Amino acid sequence: MYHNILVPISFDAERDTTAPLKLAQLLATPDAKITLMHVVEHIPAYAITYMPADYLSEARAAVQRELDEMAAKLPNAVGIVVEGHSGRTILDWSSENNPDLIILASHRPELQDVILGSTAAHVVRHAKCAVHVVR
């Protein structure tokens, strides 16, 4: 049983968010802290000029609302939105907050994942705590 669980959430269409949440609930102690995290990738400066001025703040607020709804269904859960490269940001947050488990959803790897590496593969290789990958 785990006391501090990190569940990175991707809102990509092919990702299943229910399986990692169910697993977090199963593996958590009754007083465990569960953090649902979404990492917003940086938008290049040349691209941001073509977007409405309030795009980033509106998108971030929408994601936060979605995470808060998900967190409300779990005991002792909170949702956070952070900015950065997903793999590195998950590992950086883990170093600062010391979860004892990271639960990641993953898709079936394709050739591009072998060449570039996926977020799940990066976290599995470098995390200092247990990592459970759900497919």
In the numeric block, which tokens belong to residue 134? 């759900």
Per the CB < 8 A criterion, the answer to whether 51 and 125 are in contact is: no
Average pLDDT, 10 consecutive residues per value, the chain (135 residues) = 97 82 96 97 84 88 97 96 96 98 82 64 95 91
State how far the Cα of 65 lies from the Cα of 79, in Å rounded to an integer: 9
On whether the CB atoms of residues 15 and 105 are closer than 8 A, the answer is: yes
Task: Count the domains in the chain.
Answer: 1
What's the predicted TM-score (pTM) here? Answer: 0.91
Q: How far is CA 129 from CA 8, 63, 67, 96, 97, in A?
A: 14, 26, 23, 12, 11
Print the domain residue range for 66: 2-134
Give the pLDDT of residue 118: 85
- Specify the CATH number for the domain of residue 9: 3.40.50.620
